[in-house]
Chain A
């Protein structure tokens, strides 16, 4: 599983980083950044899905 952030849709709610702090962080402006290059370790997949389900802007994109 890979994840990415749609930068046009993200408005910095940071709810992805709250749900999955190992996967998502913040840039200097509070917008979401993905902290992991490439495939997520399997143990973080459930958290990443939770992050996707917590974004009010639907800016988290999961690519299985």
Chain B
């Protein structure tokens, strides 16, 4: 028996990460693979991939960067024409980098994302959340995903990059073109990539002509490593990464958390009665609704946990699957806001741990706190009408809720 509705699909040998049922609820399929004789499944679909499902295997792959390289990190292969043309050398450092370059690629951007550095975005994020709620609170209903969650991270990232927040819808469209539609449509993926890179090429030219104070792009353009200015392709790539990685991901975590809270009044009450719980509660929501799956490319033929992996094979690191492994987490499918031990890997593990994790947490906490302050009681208008995106980043895209007015 398989966990999908389609009797033809055997998850162990033919899983489909873009299957509608899998996107809606991937956990039964992940559980079936994880508890089988073959907890690392393989599928030929979408360019072919391995999909480990146990926590220890996924963490080991994340930590073994020499075998599991970051030459490609999206869950489907890049369009062939990406390797050509003006931007062929622009990647998404440090997420797309391997050691030894990875070290400086990452070290230059980490200070922008340390907890003490991102704290300055808290008040602006809270003001933004309040203004978004103002727009629909008198209606007694609103879309927690499209009208709220989707609107927050793109504006925070735009602020951080020093680009106009009123282009948010455009940026969001480009990011979805890379991480949603583009994963199964190479033309959309290439067009979206070119839009992003053309935009930031112009931003870099602008900063070179008009350097700005306290500006991330200007700072990176002036950065030196071993006495040499860093290549512009590096700065270009970092801009690409910050937009692509900073929007869909956090928006999905905010949306999934609101989807959960809409259905769990006891958790809303728990947070209201015990505000000290917030930091741990955020980690538990991240564990249960980890949005991101990253890929690795096998660097050389190897056998991993009995699986014969060939150089160039794609391996999917499903952090959502790792975070639901009962070998690591008691009652993994339950949200336990004060969970005592929670080594979750929603942000990955090893040298590629999400560089923006402290910013993502801040946005998630402020978005949820502000929502619950303003809209303490709410419920899904129609649970079956909630739509989800999946593949690389899983989260609700339409999530209509209703609530008492006044």
Q: A-side interface residues toward B, CB under 8 Å?
A: 11-15, 17-19, 26-30, 50, 53-58
Given known A54-B343, A55-B343, contact A18–B350 (CB-CB < 8 A): no
Q: Within 8 Å of chain A (Cβ to Cβ): is B165?
A: no
Assembled-state Cα–Cα distance A33/B115 (Å): 13
Q: Mark each residue of chain B from 347 to 378: 1 if its CB lies under 8 Å from any CB of chain A, else 0.
A: 10111010001100000000000000000000
Among B107, B341, B351, B357, which residue has its beta carbon within 8 angstroms of that of A54? B341
Given known A13-B353, A50-B341, contact A19–B110 (CB-CB < 8 A): no
Given known A18-B283, A30-B110, A30-B115, contact A11–B353 (CB-CB < 8 A): yes
Q: Within 8 Å of chain A (Cβ to Cβ): is B111?
A: yes
A53 touches B343 (CB 8 A): yes
Q: Within 8 Å of chain A (Cβ to Cβ): is B280?
A: yes
Assembled-state Cα–Cα distance A28/B115 (Å): 9
User: Which residues from chain A contact B343 at a C-beta distance below 8 Å?
Assistant: 15, 53-56, 58
Q: Could you list 11 examples of A-B contacts with CB < 8 Å? A: A14-B357, A15-B343, A18-B280, A26-B116, A28-B111, A53-B342, A54-B283, A54-B342, A55-B343, A56-B345, A56-B349
Q: Within 8 Å of chain A (Cβ to Cβ): is B27?
A: no
Q: Which residue of A lies closest to B343 (CB)?
A: A56
Q: Within 8 Å of chain A (Cβ to Cβ): is B113?
A: yes
Q: Which residue of A lies closest to B107 (CB)?
A: A29
A30 touches B351 (CB 8 A): no
B341 touches A53 (CB 8 A): yes
Beyond A29-B110, A53-B342, list 14 extra A-B contacts (CB 8 Å). A12-B110, A15-B342, A15-B343, A17-B115, A18-B279, A26-B114, A26-B116, A27-B114, A29-B114, A30-B111, A53-B343, A54-B343, A56-B344, A57-B350
User: Which residues from chain A contact B116 at a C-beta distance below 8 Å?
Assistant: 26
Q: Within 8 Å of chain A (Cβ to Cβ): is B84?
A: no
Assembled-state Cα–Cα distance A19/B280 (Å): 7
User: Which residues from chain A contact B146 at a C-beta distance below 8 Å?
Assistant: none
Q: B-side interface residues toward A, CB under 8 Å?
A: 59, 107, 110-111, 113-116, 279-280, 283, 340-345, 347, 349-351, 353, 357-358
B345 touches A30 (CB 8 A): no
B350 touches A11 (CB 8 A): yes
Among A13, A19, A29, which residue has its beta carbon within 8 angstroms of that of B347? A13
A30 touches B114 (CB 8 A): yes
Among B59, B110, B340, B357, which residue has its beta carbon within 8 angstroms of that of A50? B340
User: Which residues from chain B contact A58 at a C-beta distance below 8 Å?
Assistant: 343
Among A18, A26, A28, A56, which residue has its beta carbon within 8 angstroms of that of B59? A56
| Interchain residue pairs A-B with the least CB separation, the first 8 | A53-B341, A30-B114, A29-B110, A11-B353, A56-B343, A18-B279, A26-B115, A56-B349
Q: Which residue of A lies closest to B282 (CB)?
A: A18
Assembled-state Cα–Cα distance A2/B387 (Å): 49
Assembled-state Cα–Cα distance A13/B114 (Å): 10
A14 touches B358 (CB 8 A): yes
B341 touches A28 (CB 8 A): no
B340 touches A53 (CB 8 A): yes
Assembled-state Cα–Cα distance A35/B229 (Å): 35
User: Which residues from chain A contact B344 at a C-beta distance below 8 Å?
Assistant: 56
Among A13, A19, A27, which residue has its beta carbon within 8 angstroms of that of B357? A13
Q: Which residue of B lies closest to A50 (CB)?
A: B340
User: Which residues from chain A contact B110 at a C-beta distance below 8 Å?
Assistant: 12, 28-30
